[in-house]
Amino acid sequence: MAVERDTRLAQKVYQQYLTFFDKAERERRWHPIHDIPWEKINRELPEALVLNAETFCCVESYLPDYVAGGINVVRKSFGQAWFSANWGYEESKHSIALMEYLMRSGRRSPEHMFDLQAQLMEKEWRLPFTTARQMTVYGCFQEQATFVIYCRQEAAASQAGDEALRTIFRLNARDEIAHARFYEDVIKLLLEEDREATVLDIAWVAKHFEMPGVGIVPDYESRVQVMRDVGHIDRDLFLQKVYFPVLKYLGVTREELVAAAGQLRKMASASANGAPVNPATV
């Protein structure tokens, strides 16, 4: 029975991927060298915005870890695994565009950028969750959050008169929201299969959500200080611009989430030391 159910779900996820892929090929392909108006770089752009571009370039640069961890956790789901491959290609352009911006603007030397890349790879990003369903929920929140941040950076770059950087953030943001949508559509399918367990995972992941750069990008805390007024996601902003819009799209009510949070608390108090219990482990 379980195999039959898994096969049915796999077919639906594959259809979702085909829809995503078709739309991406027809409407969303862009070229990080040819589609950016490099001649419109504002060479006087405030350093804070340059530093933010560098920080996002850093976060995007853990691609080897995202791809390796992300694709393996979903390898049994054809549609999601193929999505991961396509996702990796799209994400690879985000860091290339930002890196090219930093070097072409003359604000960072190639030596600096390659030293930074080497420094980044000394640390490794590890999967924050270990099941396909929890990683799908995580991916959804992370993509939506990155979309919100990039839209804000786009507005800041536009206001500062840098058409090149504005275009990069616009194209990146358009990809990120498409990624968020794919994850959301998969979560809808997961909700159809097992609503209670999926809502429990949503509650668990939301409670333990952190952006991927935390703890691995050098000087992350001081970078966040610079970012704070131009696009950092704090808890309030996460709730308003990420969490609640995602729940609305999914058709999951706050009452359901409150009930799930209550269940997580119950599981914690029933555990030997009262520590939180990941629902994926029971």
Interaction site with Fe ion (CB under 5 A): 91, 94, 143, 176, 179
Tokens 């950092």, residue located: 232
Shorter beta-carbon distance to Fe ion: residue 91 or 256? 91
Query: What is the nearest approach in angstroms of Fe ion to the Cβ of residue 175?
Result: 6
Shorter beta-carbon distance to Fe ion: residue 175 or 201? 175
Q: What is the DSSP letter of 229?
A: G
**C-alpha separations of 193 from 79, 136, 196, 197, 200 in Å:** 16, 15, 9, 9, 13
Give the Cβ contact number of residue 25 at 10 Å. Answer: 10
Query: What is the nearest approach in angstroms of Fe ion to the Cβ of residue 94?
Result: 4
Shorter beta-carbon distance to Fe ion: residue 59 or 191? 59
- Residue 108: partners with Cβ closer than 8 Å, 6 or more residues away: 50, 54, 102
Q: What is the DSSP letter of 277?
A: -
Shorter beta-carbon distance to Fe ion: residue 70 or 279? 70
Query: What is the nearest approach in angstroms of Fe ion to the Cβ of residue 43?
Result: 25
Rounded distance between C-alpha atoms, residue 178 and residue 185, angstroms: 11
Shorter beta-carbon distance to Fe ion: residue 169 or 243? 169
Token duo for residue 44: 């006087």
Which amino acid is present at 105?
S
Query: What is the nearest approach in angstroms of Fe ion to the Cβ of residue 99?
Result: 13
Query: What is the nearest approach in angstroms of Fe ion to the Cβ of residue 172?
Result: 6
